[in-house]
Chains A and B, each alone.
Chain A
Amino acid sequence: MNFKTIAILDDNPTTIFYNLDVVSDVFPESKILTFEDAGQFIDTYIKTLHSTQEPILLLLDISMPDRLGYEVLDELEDEFEVLENLHVIMVTSSNQKADVEKSTRYTCIRGYIEKPLTEEMLKKVLG
């Protein structure tokens, strides 16, 4: 699957720096947006990204200080109910079973990747 737009949300700037590098190698043609702040991403999605009908890939950090990754999805679902164009990969710092079990509730989650992200893992999750 190809994505014209890819968003990376992580509270750690070094993680963003690294993930951006991996993602731009896998998707050299895509436009990549980065967010350190969950609120900022939610705003951008509601205002602009949702209305574009093209598929959008989101790399979502599970544990952030202002919101958990799932809470970001909850807020977006509250707004739109169905997140048709959003494809989410949860990026975790640990292989937590409870987290993976939660994912069944969210239809937009495509998979989980344990940090650090690699090209191989990204390709594997997206099939």
Chain B
Amino acid sequence: MVHKPEDLNRLTARQLKKAFPDNQYSPEGMQKFIDLVNESYKSFDEERMLNQRAVQISQKELESVNRELQIKNDFLDSFNHGLAHDVKNHTSNIIGLISMLRKYTARQNTEMVKMIIEKLDLSTSQLTSIVQGFLYLSRSENKVDGEYKLIFPDQLKESILLETQSLLQGKNVDILFKFDTQDLFYSKHILKIIFVNLVSNAIKFSKSNETNKIIVCLSNNADFLELEVKDNGIGMELSNPENKIFKLFNQAGTVQAKGHGVGLFVIKKIVERNNGKIELDSTLGEGTTIRITLPLSNNPTK
């Protein structure tokens, strides 16, 4: 042979040894050698193709994961921006009102002081409901959403009224409760957050010169529970309710719901996390109805 064995590729050396066992050239040996080499190339080709496919697949996966991350990132960006904006606005109002309070206390203007305190109440309760919602959202996804206990409708009504009371000042609004639950085991915490946010919105969007009625309903059967808040307030024009009302905050004038994107957003996340669904119906000048259905099957105590 022409080549020294140490110069040869190990596979070539092995194939040569197989084709020419006696180290002697022969036409049959040559044929066998060519077959062996051909075989090797074939399997190289296959391997290369497999490798290419593996790369393509992982690239595709990577792209889709990337896209998902990008969406989540954008979402968090606008979310943070909206949150910061909302919180900052309420905080600024509170700081401003406190400086007013100092001024009018010094002037002994009790009428004005009373009015400022009412505004402070309102601003702090708005800020509190935003913060509560976010505390809820910031909890780990794995954690059970509060404790699942028998719901007592009267208790629930009371806590909803307590948390929305400060918004009712100066408004002509009647709140009617229609709670008809049977052996409902659920997280009171979740129900409260949803109702307080929905009722707060309904109060904020009430008509200024008319008597407004807000009807708050809760009912259940064995499989799901239904929450509904219906008002006859100013309503909104929504060609695509799903997209518009729950679109994050009030960017570039897409949301008609004045500056209350945060509350609605919190509700949306809670409902999603509990596999429920939200329906919205609204007519400009006539009012808004929001209905939320939550399945009971995921309820850990059942």
In the complex, chain B residues whose CB is within 8 Å of the CB of A65: 250, 253, 255-259
Report the interface size for chain B: residues with CB under 8 A from the other chain: 22
Report the interface size for chain A: residues with CB under 8 A from the other chain: 22
1/0 per residue, CB under 8 A from A, across B83-101: the answer is: 0110011001101110110
Dominant SS among interface residues on chain A:
loop
B119 in the interface (beta carbon within 8 A): yes
B289 in the interface (beta carbon within 8 A): no
Chain A proximity of B208: nearest CB distance (Å):
11
Mark out the residues of chain B between 67 and 93 whose CB falls within 8 Å of any chain A CB in the assembled complex: 84-85, 88-89, 92-93
B122 in the interface (beta carbon within 8 A): yes
B206 in the interface (beta carbon within 8 A): no
Known: A64-B250, A65-B255, A93-B92. A18 touches B85 (CB 8 A): no
A66 touches B93 (CB 8 A): no
B212 in the interface (beta carbon within 8 A): no
Known: A65-B253, A94-B84. 12 other contacts (CB 8 A): A14-B119, A15-B89, A15-B92, A63-B250, A65-B255, A65-B258, A93-B92, A94-B85, A94-B88, A116-B95, A116-B99, A118-B99
Query: 18 pairs across A/B with beta carbons < 8 Å?
Result: A12-B89, A12-B93, A15-B93, A18-B97, A18-B100, A18-B119, A63-B85, A65-B253, A65-B259, A66-B256, A67-B253, A93-B88, A94-B88, A115-B89, A115-B96, A116-B92, A116-B96, A118-B99
